[in-house]
Amino acid sequence: MTSPNLDKLNIVPFVSVDNMMKLVLTIGVETMIKGIADQIESDFKRWELFDKTPRIASHSKEGVIELMPTSDGEVYGFKYVNGHPKNTKEGLQTVTAFGLLADVDSGYPVLLTEMTILTALRTAAMSAVAAKYLAPKDSKTMAMIGNGAQCEFQALAFKHILGIETVRLFDIDPVATDKAILNLKDSGLNVIRTTSHEECVSGADIITTCTADKQCATILTDNMVGSGQHINAIGGDCPGKTELHKDILLRSDIFVEFPPQTRVEGEIQQLDADHEVTELWQVITGEKEGRTSDQQITLFDSVGFAIEDFSALKYLYQAIKDTEFYDDLDMIADPDEPRDLFGMVQRAKANL
């Protein structure tokens, strides 16, 4: 991390929603996801360096507001994210997010950004990184149950990073599938609409579940999952919210981000607290094995972890350099004489 610009100590670069969209379109969705995926892999290899505080949650009747901080000793990052299932009915987003990077050496913020779009990109990147290590070799077909906000990002990540050629779509709301088909029409993917969970998963190498059910749900039952498949389960991400039948978990080799968090929020909340799981970072470093046979069912029980956001923020920090896709935010009070904060305010009279 370079130091803040010494000429403009008060300024923090800010990536608005509008600029994030322009950046994504300029770089390209697939290229950007690949860039974030590379950063995630690189950061997961340094896993032990990171501060791994659990997220700090403030719960209310209608939802939760969370802060997810982490640091590698050089760079500090955090994400603000809310989750309010009832928001959709009121025309609001269920989840909104923004994030910040700071320089650990000085404590100065160096980047502020919207993170709703960036989180969608990093979630897809994370799923693809896991699948690189866990999915069957030469996977060509992915089933996607749940065709909401995350669907197209997942499809493009798996196309670009895994070489997936066909996606099979299903959603209990056909309108969601209509939307995904329209959005993917020029993607180069072979997109197939299916009419049931069973039909969707049939013949798929990889099954991605990304439904938004709040309650414990059984999107996949045991009979739907065949030997050798990789399950990328990203919809279960808080206590009481799961997507897979417990029997599937018992037949699978389970890989997770950070066990203390996944045992509370992931699919494995259905299992005993000491059920064996493998930490994905150890597979990436080579300390542990990923997929070991063609028959094995692998499950990536993903809930999203602060280090992934950190990786996305670090990628973004580099990506905006030499672009116009950020604004200068005058956020840090910087008196010429640090002890003269009062005088700085008084001297601003000249600008009134």
Instruction: Name residues contacting a second copy, limited to 316-345 (CB under 8 A).
Output: 329-335, 337-345
User: What strand order describes the sheet that includes 252-256?
Assistant: 190-193, 166-170, 141-145, 206-209, 230-233, 297-301, 252-256, 278-279
The span of 14-22, 274-282, 302-310, 314-322 binding a second copy (CB under 8 A) equals 14-22
Phi, psi (degrees; rounded to nearest 5) at 66: -125, 145
Q: Which is nearer to a second copy, 97 or 134 (CB)?
A: 97
Please, what is the minimum distance in Å from the beta carbon of residue 19 to a second copy?
A: 8
Cβ distance to a second copy smaller for residue 271 or 331: 331
**Residues 26-85 contacting a second copy, CB under 8 A:** 26, 29, 51, 53, 56, 58, 60, 62-65, 67, 69, 71, 73, 76, 78, 80, 82-84
**Residue 94 or 296 with smaller CB distance to a second copy:** 94
Question: Does the footprint of a second copy cover residue 25 (CB under 8 A)?
Answer: yes
Of 85, 84, 87, 111, nearest to 98 by C-alpha is 111
Among candidate residues 171, 205, 237, 309, the one labeled active-site is 237
Report, in Å, the least distance between residue 257 CB and a second copy. 20
Beta carbon of residue 85, minimum distance to a second copy (angstroms, whole number): 10
Strands 190-193 and 166-170: parallel
Of 159, 157, 184, nearest to 169 (Cα)?
A: 184
Sign of the four-CA dihedral 263, 299, 238, 155: positive
Amino acid occupying residue 54: P
Polymer length in residues for the chain: 352
Taking the complex as a whole, the smallest distance from the CB of residue 208 to a second copy amounts, in Å, to: 15
DSSP per residue, 266-330: SGGGGS-TT---EEHHHHHHTSS-----SS-EEEEE----HHHHHHHHHHHHHHTTTSS--EEEE
Cβ 81 to a second copy shortest distance, Å: 8
Binding mask 118-137 for a second copy (x = CB under 8 A): --x-----------------
**Per CB under 8 A, 114 contacts a second copy:** yes
Binding segment for a second copy (CB under 8 A), chosen from 6-14, 137-145, 235-243, 254-262, is 6-14
CB 255 within 8 A of CB 303: no
| Stretch 163-192 residues interacting with a second copy (CB under 8 A) | 176, 179, 182-183
* Contact window for a second copy (CB under 8 A) among 150-158, 255-263, 267-275, 300-308: 150-158
Residue count at the site for a second copy (CB under 8 A)? 86
Q: Does 7 bind a second copy (CB under 8 A)?
A: no
237 is catalytic: yes
Calculate ∠ Cα 153-155-156, nearest 5°: 65
Q: Which of 13, 35, 109, 304 binds a second copy (CB under 8 A)?
A: 109
To the nearest 10°, report the CA torsion of 116, 113, 128, 319. Answer: 140
Amino acid at 229: Q
Residue number with CB closer to a second copy (114 or 205): 114
Listed in sequence order, the residues at least 6 apart from 1 whose beta carbon sits closer than 8 Å to its beta carbon are 74, 75, 101, 103, 104, 110, 317
Where in 79-98 is the site for a second copy (CB under 8 A)?
Answer: 80, 82-84, 87-88, 90-94, 96, 98
Q: Supply the minimum distance, in Å, between the C-beta of residue 248 and a second copy.
A: 26
Residues 282-321 that bind a second copy (CB under 8 A): none
3-state DSSP percent of the chain in helix, strand and coil, to 5 = 40, 25, 40
Q: Quick check: 94 and 87 in contact, CB under 8 A?
A: yes
For the bound state, the minimum distance from the C-beta of residue 183 to a second copy, rounded and expressed in Å, comes to 5
Please identify every residue annotated as catalytic: 237
